[in-house]
Amino acid sequence: MAAGAGGGGLFTSLRNLVVTSVAIGRTRLQLLGTELQEEKVRLLGALASGVGALFLLGLGIILLIACIAAAFWEHRVAIFGISALVVIGGGIYLALQAKKLISRSSHLFHASLAELDTDMARLRNSARDPR
Domain assignment present for residue 118? The answer is yes
Q: Domain for residue 2, yes or no? A: no
1 domain-assigned: no
What is the Cα Rg of the chain in Å? 30
Residue-wise pLDDT for 78-120, tens only, equals 998 998 898 889 889 988 988 888 887 766 667 667 777 887 7
Q: 22, 123 in Cβ contact below 8 A?
A: yes
What pLDDT score was predicted for residue 106? 67
In a domain, 29, yes or no: yes
Whether 92 maps to a domain, the answer reads: yes
Would you say residue 55 lies in a domain?
A: yes
**Mean pLDDT computed over 48-73:** 90
Q: In terms of DSSP H, where are the helices of the chain?
A: 2-5, 10-71, 76-103, 110-128
Distance CA 18, CA 20 (A): 5
pLDDT at residue 23 tops 70? yes
CA angle at 83 for the pair 99 and 70, rounded to the nearest 5°: 145
3 found inside a domain: no
Residue 126 contacts residue 15 (beta carbons within 8 Å): yes
pTM over 0.75: no
**For residue 2, is pLDDT > 90?**
no
Between CA 36 and CA 44 the distance in angstroms is: 12
Q: How many domains does the chain have?
A: 1
For 29, the 3-state DSSP assignment is helix
Closest CA to 58 of 79, 78, 86: 86
Domain that holds residue 17: 8-128
The proportion of the chain whose per-residue pLDDT surpasses 90, expressed as a percent, equals: 15
pLDDT(3) > 60: no
pLDDT tier for residue 50 given thresholds of 50, 70 and 90: confident
pLDDT at 26 over 60: yes
Is 66 inside a domain boundary? yes
pLDDT at position 131 is 58
Average pLDDT, the chain: 82
